[in-house]
Structure 1
Amino acid sequence: MSAESTAALVAKVVDEVLTHKAQNCTDPGCARHAGTMDCPPVSVSRSPGSVLGEAVADAWYAAGGSRLDIPAGVVAALALWPQKSPGAAAADTIAAYIAAQPPRVLVRGLADSANYYWGLRPDLWTTARPLFDWTTEDLHDTHLAGVRAVALAALRHGVLRHTGDTDPAERSRTDLMSWVITSLRHHHSRRSLGEYHTPPDIADLIATVLADDGTGKRPHQPGEWMLEPTAGTGGMFRSAAQDLRREGENPAERGWLMLELDPLAAAGAAVNTLVWELGPRAFVGCGDVLAQPDLAEDAIARAHGLARHRDDVMKLLSFAIATRTTEQLLSALTASR
């Protein structure tokens, strides 16, 4: 991000913060103020990932969609929805609220859900951007209808029940991004890409075998790194993290490095890293491991650089808000005399 774009971002955020502080927002595209209070319940079931993925693909193509980033991004933003609850108890209520939003408000809300994570992990947010860049476009009616159809399909099949639990182990039971992306590509160009993600049962078996060296002691210890050079959406690491949790260990104590050639799959891995809570030393690099031998090191260095940039922006933002607030107070005092 250039200095000019950073300054523009800061100015925009300052205006939005102060506007919402005053509670006089009239933006019809703002999900925080345009959401209807009439939120009829949505029929929700926690479907298997394969069923959810097929439902999303069917809804998208039935609506006339052709792109892959939009439907995958809708599911990703819902999976990232920041409001979590024990046992996903609030999932159905949140689903009803989201389902009641008009299409353009829905898009804005999905964008806000994804953008929430920029402050937490700017590197993963940046890698996941291919799934969310469409939220900044002026979408035509076909795409808007498709966004709504996909959101309803995902909500009805329990995307928030899968990912709305405060317990990361519960959120890690299924790799929804893998099911969604492979289902979409099954209708599109999956065979031409040669992309086949490891089935979850096989991934679970491999993780179990690798964790058992036959001595009764785990061969890997906290603090060690795990590398997956063909990560897809991270299914192998999901299985490994769940295996650690079953043994009473915290996956966040390990280092996780996922490398993936396809930008959409890498974006899915970045989303999953956040949903599964793999920890501060979990990174995703997008590139060709054969042509870029330093891809792993570059991914980590890039993450650290983006974190420093985020810190700089947040400091500038805090200063700008404080300055603007002071100006408003002085103007009010002057006007009252």
Structure 2
Amino acid sequence: MAPSDLGSRLTAALASAQRPAPAALAPAGHAQPDGTADCSDPGCARHAGTTDCPPFPITRRRGSDFGESVADAWYRSCGSSRMDIPAGVVAALALCPIKSPGALHAAQLSRYFAAQPPRVLAKGYAEVYAATWMLRPELMDVAAPIFRWTEEDLDEQALRGVAAVTRAALRAGVLQYTGDKDPYYRSDIDLMSWTITNLRHHSSRRGLGEYHTPPEVADMMARLLYDGASDADAEPGRGQSFNEPAAGTGGMFRSMVQAMRERGGDPHKHEWVMQELDPIAAAGAAVNTVVWDLGPKAVVAVGNTLADSDLSQQAFAHQRKMQAHRDRLRGVAAFAKATHDAFRQLDTLFSARAA
């Protein structure tokens, strides 16, 4: 898999990767979660004519209702058969780096996002992707199929869809589900699965679509497997390797990790390999891997397990390659900054001598 062509945006994201939120989505002109209120973005809601964020009700809805709301909002507002845009909107909201205990910030942040103009939302989602790429480049390279649209010059129809899906996802509680600092509570549901399956069903018009393992079944299977293992097998010190050859968006691993955490286990000790044929579903699995915090040894491979038995090794090789690519970008950015600072100091020195 070739690295996504996002060099300039990724380099720019270096400076913002450690900030509480991407600049385009940070509540400029409004009280931020850290208490500041500094407005400098001419594309924010305040400059667009909204001087404050109106009330915006949010409710944590069950997964089927969430997916249905997102799909309805997309097809009613835009009518396009594209799945990448609405799936990418939900993914970006789920990856939003602002987290708080119990997702207490969700209501305030939802009001702000809902008031943003569509182009500001698209810009912010691009920055969320770029910042997350700097943290897990191998996963975000797999997730690229649902984020490449952020590099496009979207027409007004698509932008209406972006805004409509944003509001629908916020209203259905996306930030309440994914905004908790504790990954256990962020792993309570597979929002990407509900989103993708409902989008497929709507686009088919014939009731055909993609069906993932029901979460209740996956939870039962995970607990039976985990409780049936010996204490040594359940949480060995050196860790185990788990492989899902038909992962979808990762629902089985979500259930396994929840069972593991409930019993005091640490998913970071283990290897998690998800293999999936469909690129959109694999992109959802890559996003979920970050949201659920499966750990540094979790990878996603896109391919046919039956035709290629080497997908696991390929996934870890891809991880090493992408991390090296990311590190090179960091080195280039650091060198560019050092060079810029040196020239600025020389200019200051020569100006002082001339004076």
Structure-1-length-normalised TM-score: 0.89
Does the CA-based 8 Å contact 1:213-1:219 persist in structure 2?
no
Alpha-carbon displacement from aligned partner over 1:116-144 (angstroms, at most 9, x marks no partner): 11111100010001110001101001100
Does the CA-based 8 Å contact 1:69-1:131 persist in structure 2?
yes
Alpha-carbon displacement from aligned partner over 1:197-255 (angstroms, at most 9, x marks no partner): 0000000011011112276x363334101000000000000000000011011111111
Q: Tell me, which stretches of 5 or more residues in structure 2 are unaligned? A: 17-22, 27-40, 47-51
Q: Secondary structure at the match of 1:152?
A: helix
Q: Find the counterpart in structure 2 of residue 22 from structure 1.
A: none
Does the CA-based 8 Å contact 1:81-1:114 persist in structure 2?
no
- Cα deviation for residue 295 of structure 1 reads 1.0
Q: Find the counterpart in structure 1 of residue 56 from structure 2.
A: 42
- Cα deviation for residue 36 of structure 1 reads 2.8
Structure 1 Cα separation of the partners of residues 9 and 116 of structure 2: 28
Q: Find the counterpart in structure 2 of residue 281 from structure 1.
A: 297
Q: Find the counterpart in structure 2 of residue 311 from structure 1.
A: 327
Identity of aligned residues (%): 50
- Cα deviation for residue 108 of structure 1 reads 0.4
Q: Secondary structure at the match of 1:259?
A: strand
Structure 2 Cα separation of the partners of residues 10 and 77 of structure 1: 16
Alpha-carbon displacement from aligned partner over 1:68-115 (angstroms, at most 9, x marks no partner): 000010000000000000100001111111111111011001111121
Q: Find the counterpart in structure 2 of residue 118 from structure 1.
A: 133
Structure 2 Cα separation of the partners of residues 66 and 194 of structure 1: 14
Q: 1:108 to 1:230 in 2, by over 3 A?
A: same
Pairing 1:129–2:144 present: yes
Report which of the two has the higher share of helix: 1
Does the CA-based 8 Å contact 1:70-1:132 persist in structure 2?
yes
Pairing 1:263–2:272 present: no
- Cα deviation for residue 17 of structure 1 reads 5.7
Q: Secondary structure at the match of 2:135?
A: coil
Q: Find the counterpart in structure 2 of residue 152 from structure 1.
A: 167
Q: Secondary structure at the match of 1:212?
A: helix
Q: Find the counterpart in structure 2 of residue 241 from structure 1.
A: 257
Amino acid in the other structure paired with 2:103: A
- Greater displacement, 149-158 / 58-67: 58-67
Does the CA-based 8 Å contact 1:212-1:219 persist in structure 2?
no
User: How well do the aligned residues superpose, as a CA RMSD in angstroms?
Assistant: 2.5
Q: Find the counterpart in structure 2 of residue 13 from structure 1.
A: 12
Q: 1:195 to 1:218 in 2, by over 3 A?
A: farther
Pairing 1:52–2:66 present: yes
Structure 2 Cα separation of the partners of residues 211 and 12 of structure 1: 42
Alpha-carbon displacement from aligned partner over 1:263-320 (angstroms, at most 9, x marks no partner): 0000000000000000000000001111111111101111011111111211121111
Amino acid in the other structure paired with 1:229: P
Structure 1 Cα separation of the partners of residues 102 and 282 of structure 2: 28
Does the CA-based 8 Å contact 1:41-1:93 persist in structure 2?
no
Does the CA-based 8 Å contact 2:219-2:256 persist in structure 1?
yes
Structure 2 Cα separation of the partners of residues 108 and 192 of structure 1: 34
Q: 1:294 to 1:148 in 2, by over 3 A?
A: same
Q: Tell me, which stretches of 5 or more residues in structure 1 are unaligned? A: 19-28
Q: 1:300 to 1:189 in 2, by over 3 A?
A: farther
Does the CA-based 8 Å contact 2:200-2:209 persist in structure 1?
no
- Greater displacement, 95-104 / 233-242: 95-104
Alignment of 1:57-68 (within 5 A): 57-63=71-77, 64-68=79-83
In the alignment, which of 80, 83, 86 is matched to residue 101 of structure 2? 86
- Cα deviation for residue 190 of structure 1 reads 9.0
How many pairs align? Answer: 323
